[in-house]
Amino acid sequence: MDGSTQAPEALLRVERVSKSFGAVVALQDISLHLPAGEITGLVGDNGAGKSTLIKIISGVLAPDSGSIEFRGKPANFASPAEAREQGIETVYQDLALAGNLAVWANVYLGRELTVGPKILHILDKRAMLSKTGEMLERFIRNVPPIAEPVESLSGGQRQVVAIARAGAWGSKLILMDEPTAALGVAETKAVEEVIFELKRQGLTLLVISHNLDQVFRVTDGVWVMRRGRVIGYRQTARTHPDEIVSMITGAAAAAGAHA
Amino acid sequence: MSVRRGSRLAAIARRQGVLIAFIALIAVLFAATPTFGTYQNLINVLQQNSIIGIIACGMTFAIILGGFDLSVGSVTALSSVVGATLMIDLGTPGIPIGIIGAVLACLLVGATNGGLIAYLGVNPFVATLGTMTVVRGLIYVATNASPRFGVPYSFTTLGLGRLFGIPNPALLFLVVAVSLGFVLHRTRFGHYVYAVGGNAAASAQMGVNAARVRFAVYVLVSLCSAISGIILIGQTASATPQAALGYELTAIAAVIVGGAPLGGGHGRMTGTIVGVFLLGVVANGLNLFGVSPFWQPVATGLILIAAVAFDGYSKRGGFGSF
């Protein structure tokens, strides 16, 4: 495959992973890798298997066969918590935040700081409030009001918080499923700035997107999937949207078959 | 989020509407009838609302979690009947055994509710409607629908006694409200109740054990009902199988009037306490003016609807900008 001669070392390798749901084959013998420190796109039509693949990498689903290697070690995570512990965070389109909780509470959700007797788990709200600001400022230029409930923020601000939260907890790899699908132009730009900032600080990112403009704006390389298989890898600078579209739709393969 | 200066009063009215209504009601009653402000009457209000108040404290957790518990009335009666039966059969030394037995019986129902809802995914309405009916039926079967008399009279200290002039049930209500308020607003468990009520999927994704939180909340609600049932024994030295009928709806009404929407994710323990006493003081006021007690549910229902309608109206921007 084109990608195998890439210069940067791979942070994550997926080797011959397959996954079926009953009679439906979602992933068929998938192999791909994510170059460390790069933003990699993952594109394909609905039902190509992108979300299933992300769920396998992040420990939500277990593969039927095949293996995953993260930072050079075998990594078949039993749960998202295990994946998170190893430094893989996932940002979903709309499930990410609890709207009724303040920004700081969402940043610390599941990782609350506590004080006093261990058994009571009394929240250390003051410490969490004061640290949330610093954590988000690392990645966000205009940090939203951290004491306000998330439901009072705009969709873009929410997504920025969700992505920055993933970066703030020292993760190595962030998986993003359609991070800007529901956002306007300005908000999309703000989210992309955070994505660039994460890369600048050394994180590796995998972005699922249906928006090819965005893929070409943001990514260093793209994997294309179709009907549960990997079609190929292209370096973004050396390909063209037309080529990616033909790989997504199968026009390229059809043309090849006729040749 | 800057609130515009002009709408600040509106914002206060929106957030504290029920509290303002409550204070206004008390002011009106003070002015309108000399009886309301007497020590004896205020003590009556405390005495009459403590049992429902304790149940409402537990119900607050269930509603913030996005559910509710219809079985609390039946569980209160269960606590009362089991506790009284053990105390009657075993005499004075049986009092602690009666209390323990009542609590265990209630926890069993709470664990059933919690198991059904948290681990089997049964809708809270269906699960608790089921246990409400089953538990009440079992009480009738076990008692043949007749009351249990003969609890050692000393036990009425709990239900009828006073400490520093305050009825013991009210003191227990205070202890329950303060400790559960602390749990809800200061501890990680309470925080998770809000998180799961706000977005269960997101909470689970971040490593919160949503099922365990749900289970624990329904057990907690049953514990509150157990306490209420034991106080009921203490008020009459007996137990009736028909006890606490309809308490579930009064408790849910008090929590909602106190500002916790049925959808979950919002609400405060102080709101519930105001809700309990708002409904209680209205009932007391009607009583003082010689209105037939049959009007009391009418008033409760109207207040419930008014509070929810006011909340919805103000959220749509009826009181200035949002």
Using an 8 Å CB-CB cutoff, list chain B residues near A121.
Answer: 187-189
Query: Which of A1-5, B60-64, B188-192 shows the lowest mean pLDDT across its residues?
Result: A1-5
Pairwise CB contact (< 8 Å): A95 & B191: no
Residue A169: closest CA among A114, A108, A233: A108
What pLDDT is stored for residue A3 in this prediction? 45
pLDDT in tens, A98-149: 999 999 999 999 999 999 888 899 999 999 999 999 899 988 888 999 999 9
B116 DSSP 8-state letter: I
Using an 8 Å CB-CB cutoff, list chain A residues near B198.
Answer: 98-101
Q: Which of B188, B189, B198 sits opposite A100 (nearest CB)?
A: B198
Q: pLDDT below 50 — which residues of chain A?
A: 1-6, 257-259
Q: What is the mean pLDDT of residues B125-151?
A: 96
Q: What is the mean pLDDT of residues B186-206?
A: 94
Pairwise CB contact (< 8 Å): B203 & A145: no
CATH top class, domain B5-315: mainly alpha
Q: Do the beta carbons of residue B105 and residue B82 sit within 8 Å? A: yes
A47 DSSP 8-state letter: T
Provide residues of A within 8 Å CB-CB of chain B. 80-81, 84, 90, 92, 95-101, 105, 109-112, 114, 120-123, 145, 148, 152
Hey, which residues does A234 pair with through a beta bridge? A222
Position A85, amino acid: E
Pairwise CB contact (< 8 Å): A97 & B199: yes
Tell me how close the Cα of B187 comes to any Cα of chain A, in angstroms: 4
| Token code pair at residue B180 | 């559960």
Domain ranges of chain B: 5-315
* Distance between start and end Cα atoms, chain B: 10
What pLDDT is stored for residue A85 in this prediction? 87
pLDDT in tens, B262-321: 889 999 999 999 999 999 999 999 999 999 888 888 988 998 898 888 776 666 544 433
Q: What is the mean pLDDT of residues B121-133?
A: 97
Q: What are the residue ranges of helices labelled H in chain B?
A: 8-15, 17-32, 39-64, 72-90, 95-114, 124-143, 156-160, 168-186, 188-198, 200-205, 210-236, 247-257, 269-288, 295-315
User: What is the predicted ipTM?
Assistant: 0.85
Pairwise CB contact (< 8 Å): A145 & B206: no
This prediction's pTM: 0.87
What pLDDT is stored for residue B93 in this prediction? 84
pLDDT band at B14 (very low <50, low <70, confident <90, very high): low
B261 DSSP 8-state letter: -
What pLDDT is stored for residue A252 in this prediction? 64
Taken in order of first residue, the domains within chain A and their CATH numbers are 2-258 (3.40.50.300)
Query: Which of B49-63, B204-218, B307-321 shows the lowest mean pLDDT across its residues?
Result: B307-321
Tell me how close the Cα of A138 comes to any Cα of chain B, in angstroms: 21
Q: DSSP characters for A213-249?
A: HHHHHH-SEEEEEETTEEEEEEEGGG--HHHHHHHHH
